[in-house]
Structure 1
């Protein structure tokens, strides 16, 4: 084990963590701007959009486990994960540019088909990247103390990507490269982000030093692995609870620009300030929450930050202007930072337990299976959008209805508050497993919740 830790240590945490910057920019640009781009600017009916998003979510949920399983079974001299990362980066980049560059002559069914095809392709290649990138975290950093640091660094890079892909994007698309009511700025911005993201992902992938030991293991079998996963109660408990957090933030991400336009009555570019406050608060408190994780363990932070996140949406709903919305966004950022610092670590404990009990490293398919719950957040998004047409008459930018201001308050604040509250209640009811990754006896004292050497021999997942 000492040899294993020494070998894995050759991958610097920062080199691994910067990959999160590259994987986050494309998907956040897509999710953060797709409603504004296709519904509000191009006039796609919100009901058709919602139907596509439901199908998108189902495909996304199905292909994740398949991609994770293929990654776990990959055996090459370059490792299991790196070949997929190097192939997926340019494919996602090209698909994202096409997504934001529909031919000007498209409308009606043609526009729906273009939107559907490239939304699904972007989703598939994003899933490919994240199934492999996420699987490296527990492998490269087996102890929770070092894992917390690596996770904190990568989440920090994700927040930097959020600043660029969310807060800066409205300025680039509406002022630098385009205008408030045209689409050209999105195409240019997508090209810029595609080059940046692809470069960063390739840089990360070539610098990763994967553990060679899992390559020598017997390839996992699909049916056996599926049985282990679906019969593990913690998979369902933690997966569904995490989905509450991911779905809540997904609604905020996809609706914040229209919340600024309709609920606050401000230009879309002002989303920069609101998003900036949330992200800066997240950056600042990520370090604080990480220290708490190292002192009290990931489950403690997971539960506490769920509560903060749920409460934060109440003042955001009541905000009447940019200043009050920004103050509420500060609280959202604190709760979001806690989830960033802890959620992946809680999930990683389930992966650790599986490796310890069954003697196989199946991080790819396990993480992809967990991603099933988060990806189904697309169904939540589709249903939430459809409800705006039913309850408030909002169909598109051309037909906003009589209460678009209330519609987007409900979408960005009320629905996320409900989801986060359910998640908080579930988090306190769940028995999170200990960190069961085989410990290095020379690595120091375990963190709170870590198992002592030998504990991995006890218990069962099934």
Structure 2
């Protein structure tokens, strides 16, 4: 095995690629599949997300704590990732391989069970993969570089998961599409973990007891400010991905075959723009770079509310992609700094706990997205694909532009209360 690939940013980023291809396909099309295609009511879909969030609130910190306490010859995180790979494949396929002829109640139960199982396994993977980042990459400069590489792979995955998915399910159906993505995930996730070597010293210290670990995490004010601000921005990511199929149909009047072009307009420009945001972080520092990215993201979603054709939709999507690129790159550096400062204060490495609790806060954006869909849907009379109401175009103009703008303004305001700790984090890299 070539040592230059061990713990390299490129090999680590393969894990992001592996996770994001099916995750993006899920987040972009599960609402469209269940609500528009299968006829599940928006209210029931929102209820399922709410029940899941309660489950997620319990399992995220628990899995993070268990990961921090794991001691094996293969490391703390790798055994969890390997064990979760086949489970992730099976549950992802379950989400989209829905039996025919289900009543709405049966469909709701299937969706709820599939959601809980899939998101539970996803939690284990994201917690353990995310916890490796601050351990493998030290210092702001290295983290900024690794984050840029990682986000480059993520954006390619976003493009595949978003733009290629309509072509796949159009050609082979949702179930077979899920099967293809499940095997793509397994291949690249195994490659990533094969080239990871965890730091043995990080596991030598006895971890904090459960209650003390929770207490230390929950009293970290800057950690909460950072993640709550990100949760509002993450909601926008989810809305952009999941609402574009509806937006294309009802606002732009596009056939399903052209949804890929619209999704590509958002994600393709992000790939070269990662380098721009890497320069912003180096120029202004990680904290200011993060705030700038949130503000730019807010402005970038406004043109989507005024598009009326494929051409104007593509132009508006490309502008939104610029804002999206900044939010994808900037948070990783600050997250690593927060974990480093916790280590300085407690003498314990707790990447798993911080990644898990931070993941729960940001993943709660799924509920915000579902609530936004439900509330705006009620305002405009949209219920499902079988009952779209009198003004479905207005519904999805608001959901893809006005709501994201308001959420990102909230995110910008919250970010102003974040104070970086002492050291180089306020300085340009």
TM-score (norm. length: structure 1):
0.89
Q: Pick from 107, 120, 132 the counterpart of residue 128 of structure 2.
A: 132
Provide the secondary structure at the position in 2 that maps to 1:99. Answer: helix
- Structure 1 unpaired stretches of 5+: 1-6, 178-184, 436-445, 452-462
Aligned-pair distance for 1:9? 8.9
Aligned-pair distance for 1:426? 2.0
Q: 1:279 to 1:13 in 2, by over 3 A?
A: same
Provide the secondary structure at the position in 2 that maps to 1:79. Answer: coil
Provide the secondary structure at the position in 2 that maps to 1:419. Answer: helix
* Distance across 2 between alignment mates of 1:389 and 1:141: 44
Q: 1:205 to 1:386 in 2, by over 3 A?
A: same
Q: Residue 456 of structure 1 corresponds to which residue in structure 2?
A: none
2:96 counterpart of 1:100: yes
Provide the secondary structure at the position in 2 that maps to 1:394. Answer: coil
Q: Residue 427 of structure 2 corresponds to which residue in structure 1?
A: 449
2:54 counterpart of 1:58: yes
Q: Pick from 4, 12, 25 the counterpart of residue 16 of structure 1.
A: 12
Provide the secondary structure at the position in 1 that maps to 2:268. Answer: helix
Contact 1:8–1:210 (Cα < 8 Å) also in 2: no
Aligned-pair distance for 1:161? 0.8
Provide the secondary structure at the position in 1 that maps to 2:382. Answer: coil
2:397 counterpart of 1:401: no
* Distance across 2 between alignment mates of 1:214 and 1:8: 22
Q: Render the CA deviation track for 1:22-42: whole Å, top value 9, x for unaligned.
A: 011121111111111111111
Aligned-pair distance for 1:197? 0.3
Number of equivalenced pairs: 427
Aligned-pair distance for 1:63? 1.4
Aligned-pair distance for 1:434? 4.7
In the TM superposition, 1:385-396 aligns within 5 A as 385-396=373-384
Aligned structure 1 segments of 4 or more residues deviating by more than 3 angstroms: 7-10, 446-451
Q: Pick from 82, 87, 97 the counterpart of residue 86 of structure 1.
A: 82
Q: Residue 154 of structure 2 corresponds to which residue in structure 1?
A: 158
Contact 1:26–1:93 (Cα < 8 Å) also in 2: no
Q: 1:385 to 1:16 in 2, by over 3 A?
A: same
* Distance across 2 between alignment mates of 1:77 and 1:19: 21
- Structure 2 unpaired stretches of 5+: none
Q: Residue 247 of structure 1 corresponds to which residue in structure 2?
A: 235
Q: Residue 334 of structure 2 corresponds to which residue in structure 1?
A: 346
Contact 1:301–1:342 (Cα < 8 Å) also in 2: yes
* Distance across 2 between alignment mates of 1:9 and 1:324: 43
Q: Pick from 143, 148, 160 the counterpart of residue 144 of structure 2.
A: 148
Contact 2:420–2:426 (Cα < 8 Å) also in 1: no
* Distance across 2 between alignment mates of 1:125 and 1:432: 33
In the TM superposition, 1:199-278 aligns within 5 A as 199-278=187-266
Contact 2:282–2:428 (Cα < 8 Å) also in 1: no
Q: Residue 48 of structure 1 corresponds to which residue in structure 2?
A: 44
2:167 counterpart of 1:171: yes
TM-score (norm. length: structure 2):
0.96
* Distance across 1 between alignment mates of 2:426 and 2:218: 28
Q: Residue 305 of structure 2 corresponds to which residue in structure 1?
A: 317
* Distance across 1 between alignment mates of 2:255 and 2:73: 52
Q: Residue 335 of structure 1 corresponds to which residue in structure 2?
A: 323
Aligned-pair distance for 1:449? 3.4
Q: Render the CA deviation track for 1:152-189: whole Å, top value 9, x for unaligned.
A: 11111111111111011111112x22xxxxxxx11111
Q: 1:323 to 1:74 in 2, by over 3 A?
A: same
